[in-house]
Amino acid sequence: MKFRVFSELHYDVQAPSTIILNVHALRTPSQAVLKETLTLEPKLPYEEFESQSGENRFVRLNTGKAKEVVIRYEALVEREHELIEHQKLTPVAVKRMDSSVIPFLFPSRYCQSDKLNRLAWKMFGEIADTYDRVAAVSDWIFDNVEYVRGSTDAQTSAFDTITERSGVCRDFAHLGIALCRALTIPARYFTGYAHQLEPPDFHACFEAYIGERWLLFDATRLAPLNGLVRIATGRDAADAAVATIFGAVTTRKMTVDCQPTEAGFKALRRTDLRDRGFSLDAA
Amino acid sequence: MKFRVFSELHYDVQAPSTIILNVHALRTPSQAVLKETLTLEPKLPYEEFESQSGENRFVRLNTGKAKEVVIRYEALVEREHELIEHQKLTPVAVKRMDSSVIPFLFPSRYCQSDKLNRLAWKMFGEIADTYDRVAAVSDWIFDNVEYVRGSTDAQTSAFDTITERSGVCRDFAHLGIALCRALTIPARYFTGYAHQLEPPDFHACFEAYIGERWLLFDATRLAPLNGLVRIATGRDAADAAVATIFGAVTTRKMTVDCQPTEAGFKALRRTDLRDRGFSLDAA
Amino acid sequence: MKFRVFSELHYDVQAPSTIILNVHALRTPSQAVLKETLTLEPKLPYEEFESQSGENRFVRLNTGKAKEVVIRYEALVEREHELIEHQKLTPVAVKRMDSSVIPFLFPSRYCQSDKLNRLAWKMFGEIADTYDRVAAVSDWIFDNVEYVRGSTDAQTSAFDTITERSGVCRDFAHLGIALCRALTIPARYFTGYAHQLEPPDFHACFEAYIGERWLLFDATRLAPLNGLVRIATGRDAADAAVATIFGAVTTRKMTVDCQPTEAGFKALRRTDLRDRGFSLDAA
Amino acid sequence: MKFRVFSELHYDVQAPSTIILNVHALRTPSQAVLKETLTLEPKLPYEEFESQSGENRFVRLNTGKAKEVVIRYEALVEREHELIEHQKLTPVAVKRMDSSVIPFLFPSRYCQSDKLNRLAWKMFGEIADTYDRVAAVSDWIFDNVEYVRGSTDAQTSAFDTITERSGVCRDFAHLGIALCRALTIPARYFTGYAHQLEPPDFHACFEAYIGERWLLFDATRLAPLNGLVRIATGRDAADAAVATIFGAVTTRKMTVDCQPTEAGFKALRRTDLRDRGFSLDAA
């Protein structure tokens, strides 16, 4: 399926600043960027670079003396996904886990899994099957955390959300990650464009490593799983913020869009999975 | 200078567990491991692997049915360091920073730099020179945080330590890292063997990126800078714990040692630097 | 029922200090102190005073130059309790609540009910009856928080315990109080002597205000409800610590005891209540 | 000096709710309420009551079916204050402190003095004189915490503010209280009307107990000390919120005013005190 993704960010610049942007569609074996353009107003010089582990495509730009900066990104992306039958999702013990996956077991800034151990095992420890366990985590978050715009901020972490029970997509994802890690299931942060997300915005989900596959879970259930285009993967939002700003810049406006370019998009949601895992990394 | 490093860990195992160890001396351009042996009692199978970014050498072992495990690591390491004149430590703006360094600006589990911004700039913002600024951070921690064994635990973070003002080497390092990152200076966690550390133990310090070099700072001042042998580098202790345990294992005893194998070791301490930076990565 | 209560505290004094002790059995309409002695070694001057609201009997003493202080308290206490039929426990709306009760709705140091609102209503909001609701809170804590000696310290609060799921009697009580207040049920901290508590120690429980009565709940279930002798009541442990120390004093040893002086004590536990409320304030 | 104080609160009511208001001028030996009116639209029944320790005058009202409630309070208040010479401010040791003052040494919801001990002594411990010490606390907050509207919320506490270094009057007061208590100086929360506060609002300050007097400190320096009219005193904002709401009510608008009714008001500020203490409780 092909998607046209688009984002436009208007910044007011109070002092010369450096912005590290993270809005490019990622290139992966199952996600091809067919065409893309990045436009800056004014025409500032910028540099693209990838994170060491290849899970982000950053753009670094320097505002210089500009008082306003408009960043416009547009891409045509072809993306596959895969539905995986439950019986193939054999859990991988830590002793056999691929070493690249191990760091996703460690706690991170917004996912203090080390503080959620007892709770996680108490709540989900009796579910024997790993996939069922993660699905239960995601469903529990959906059922018990309220999606409340503005109830949290950039400092809110899973340790807050498990108790305060409110947040936005980023908080839902962080809590899912923290609970998985506490259960010794590697988990990572996903950020991307999302078709049919209302109101349109960047979206965040989490991925859990089960049966040697990264499966995607959206505890908010706000967007169809097959309408997502990956921007970045990271330990948590600290690795994958839309923009990290060094200086004095404020966001004035933001527009985000994600549309299939072909007819016949059929939304695939949690309830359509019928016991199958969903992965954005098609085999 | 050559060092013989040694560590011995005695574990009691309550249930079959996986242990990820992080006690091997790292191999870097300025640190050569001339000889090393790892002995396990009983003779359990194990596997070595490196973290993706090559900054840890992990050993993963599975206890199987063993009730006790003794792990003994011994190595002969040759290590150089470099003293760098202050005038060469030209700061690097974010806009020119090597992209591999960027993640060390982000907040992490134990170094919530995002919450220390105002404080850091208020306290150290007026110091113009970057090296002086980091040195002031390290000195301030030494002067204002008490080294109190047992006052903190594995969940203690920089946000706690800045207020509670007590901790151990790990806490001193985390606070140094968090303050540097809040000041837009990349900083990372160092863990290693330390000569003359009393009582002998693994040690933790922090490194700050100044003038395209990683400079080492020991806010505890408990060990000579030139008596350190690097085990690992990471965002914080979550990346570089001596042992991460999946299962039910308790530490019964731990022995750590680090001795120069040649005569003539002259301890180099903070006060001996006389305005020069100290790096474990000799150019 | 009459009880002989006893406590002995050995302190090492590093510098002249003031100690505010809170070990005396409280005098209430349903708890009479028939006889009591307080012995200090050495014979330091001390002063008794009550808190403004009459819910603590403090002893203030000054160590002077003593290097060791032994405090021995012994009392014979006659205490009644009452079992109240469920149907009499009509809830009192805030609009009709006695004004003396209102402050027990407010958050306090260790009971941050303001942060537990959503969680409390999500978890217990569907239980219509107030007594059943508080019983469910207490039972949930018993079922989901592990009693682990040494897992917490004097700074641990309900906000920690709800997630970390471990603690001691004080933490169980704080969590019960915080959840009740979040549900608009006044709740307060109880500390006292406890018969059959193993190992013997001071005990902490919580009381909730239902049907114009303060009902006692022990989420730890470690002591019979009818084996308790009240020392103090407060918003939380900040009001009712066994000892608050101003200076440099360390506890060397502590002995606590509580025995009925008459034969025929029949332990009354949670499961014996059969839907009745238990109050230490007999009508 | 006489002041006319005024406040008007517009509430939107989503469901029948109980509101506990705290806007009445307190009656104290040095503050007389000469005339006052409370108007409710619609004419709802309400009840006045005082907190047990007489430091708040609460109004409890029930919205019933009203969809909007307007509360208007107006009073003519005569108030004295006293400037006390420094040499009279002899500190009172805990061993001699009036027992009513002791609870103001304990930590509370927003003033976790127990976590600020080392920091407080490290920062202010060398200042020998108690009044100078509290003045230094207040001045340090003024110099190091930024007044930023909207940077904090109702859950922000002194433990946050000491690190995050931003807040509003309530946060400044909480931090002052927490630091004083950590230094074994009783401290309490003051809320009141404030002349010349810009923009007009309710104000919060803190009082420290020195020389058997409660002295007032305004770490924000936003209002003249002699332009304040006391509404309430408490351990912290949990005791003295302008309104505590049980139900579903949102504030639509708030107007606050405080004007001297006589000519010749001469603002008295921190810098005018010249080493004298300021007390709202005239002897």
Encode pLDDT of D227-244 as tens digits: 999 999 999 999 999 999
Find out whether the peptide bond into B260 is cis, omega within 30 degrees of 0.
no
pLDDT of residue C282: 80
Q: Which residues of C touch A (CB under 8 A)?
A: 115-116, 118-119, 122, 144, 146, 159, 162-166
pLDDT of residue C100: 87
List the Cα angle B263/B268/B270 in 5-degree steps: 165
pLDDT of residue A93: 85
pLDDT at B175 over 80: yes
**Token couple for D279:** 């007390």
Instruction: Name the residue with tokens 């006889």.
Output: C35
Taking residues D30-58, what's their average pLDDT? 90
In chain B, whose CA is at the least distance from the CA of D148? Answer: B118
What is the helix (H) or strand (E) element at residue A177, kind and residue range? helix A169-182
Question: What's the CA gap between B13 and A228, in Å, rounded?
Answer: 44
- Tell me which amino acid residue B213 is: R
pLDDT band of A227, cuts 50, 70, 90: very high
B146 and D118: CB-CB below 8 Å? Answer: yes
pLDDT of residue C96: 84
Encode pLDDT of C26-65 as tens digits: 999 999 999 999 999 999 989 998 877 778 899 999 999 9
pLDDT band of B93, cuts 50, 70, 90: confident
Residues in D touching C60 (Cβ below 8 Å):
94-95, 99
pLDDT band of D185, cuts 50, 70, 90: very high
**Helical packing angle, A117-124 and A130-144, nearest 10°:** 100
**Token couple for A205:** 């989900």
Residues in B touching A155 (Cβ below 8 Å):
112, 114-115
Taking residues A116-132, what's their average pLDDT? 95
Average pLDDT, chain A: 94
Residues in D touching B118 (Cβ below 8 Å):
146, 164-166
C52 and D53: CB-CB below 8 Å? Answer: yes
**Token couple for D74:** 């107006």
Residues in C touching A144 (Cβ below 8 Å):
122
Per DSSP, A28 falls in state B
A115, A116, A166: residue with CB nearest C118: A166
pLDDT band of C126, cuts 50, 70, 90: very high
Phi, psi of B89 (to 5 degrees): -90, 60
Looking at the complex, report in whole angstroms how far the Cα of residue B123 sits from the nearest Cα belonging to chain D: 9
Question: What's the CA gap between A109 and A155, in Å, rounded?
Answer: 9
Question: What's the CA gap between B281 and B283, in Å, rounded?
Answer: 6
pLDDT of residue A91: 85
Residues in C touching D114 (Cβ below 8 Å):
109, 154-155, 238
Average pLDDT, chain B: 94
pLDDT of residue A100: 87
Pairing of strands C166-167, C146-147: parallel
C20 and D94: CB-CB below 8 Å? Answer: yes
Disruptive mutation site among B144, B148, B163 for chain D (greatest number of D CBs within 10 Å): B163
A119 and C165: CB-CB below 8 Å? Answer: yes
Encode pLDDT of C150-173 as tens digits: 899 999 999 999 999 999 999 999
How many residues comprise chain B?
Answer: 283
pLDDT band of B50, cuts 50, 70, 90: confident
Share of chain B above pLDDT 70, in %: 100
Taking residues D85-94, what's their average pLDDT? 90
B118 and D165: CB-CB below 8 Å? Answer: yes
C-alpha distances in angstroms, D257 versus D76, D193, D195, D201? 12, 7, 7, 7
pLDDT of residue A191: 97
Disruptive mutation site among C118, C148, C179 for chain A (greatest number of A CBs within 10 Å): C118
In chain D, whose CA is at the least distance from the CA of C106? Answer: D238
- Tell me which amino acid residue A235 is: R
D163 and B162: CB-CB below 8 Å? Answer: yes
pLDDT of residue C98: 87
pLDDT band of C91, cuts 50, 70, 90: confident
A119 and C159: CB-CB below 8 Å? Answer: no
Sign of CA dihedral B47, B52, B54, B58: negative
Taking residues D141-167, what's their average pLDDT? 95
pLDDT of residue A196: 97
| Alpha-carbon radius of gyration of chain B | 19
pLDDT of residue C219: 98
Residues 6+ apart with CB under 8 A from C227: C3, C194, C195, C196, C197, C258, C260, C265, C267
pLDDT band of C92, cuts 50, 70, 90: confident
Q: Which residues of B touch A (CB under 8 A)?
A: 18, 20, 49-53, 58, 60, 62, 93-95, 99-100, 102-103, 105-109, 111-112, 114-115, 154-155, 184, 238-239, 244, 246
pLDDT of residue B99: 84
pLDDT at B17 over 80: yes
**Token couple for B107:** 């907040």
Taking residues A137-154, what's their average pLDDT? 95
Nearest to D283 by CA among D14, D116, D82: D82
Residues in C touching D244 (Cβ below 8 Å):
105-106
pLDDT of residue C99: 84
Encode pLDDT of A237-250 as tens digits: 999 999 999 889 99
Are C119 and C182 in contact by the 8 Å Cβ rule? The answer is: yes
Nearest to D242 by CA among D154, D151, D161: D154
B122 and D115: CB-CB below 8 Å? Answer: no
Looking at the complex, report in whole angstroms how far the Cα of residue A248 sits from the nearest Cα belonging to chain B: 13
Q: Which residues of B touch D (CB under 8 A)?
A: 115-116, 118-119, 122, 144, 146, 159, 162-166
Average pLDDT, chain D: 94
C122, C144, C166: residue with CB nearest A144: C122
Question: What's the CA gap between C272 and C276, in Å, rounded?
Answer: 9
What interface predicted TM-score (ipTM) does this complex get? 0.93
Average pLDDT, chain C: 94
Which of residues C274 and C221 earns the better pLDDT score? C221
Taking residues D206-235, what's their average pLDDT? 96
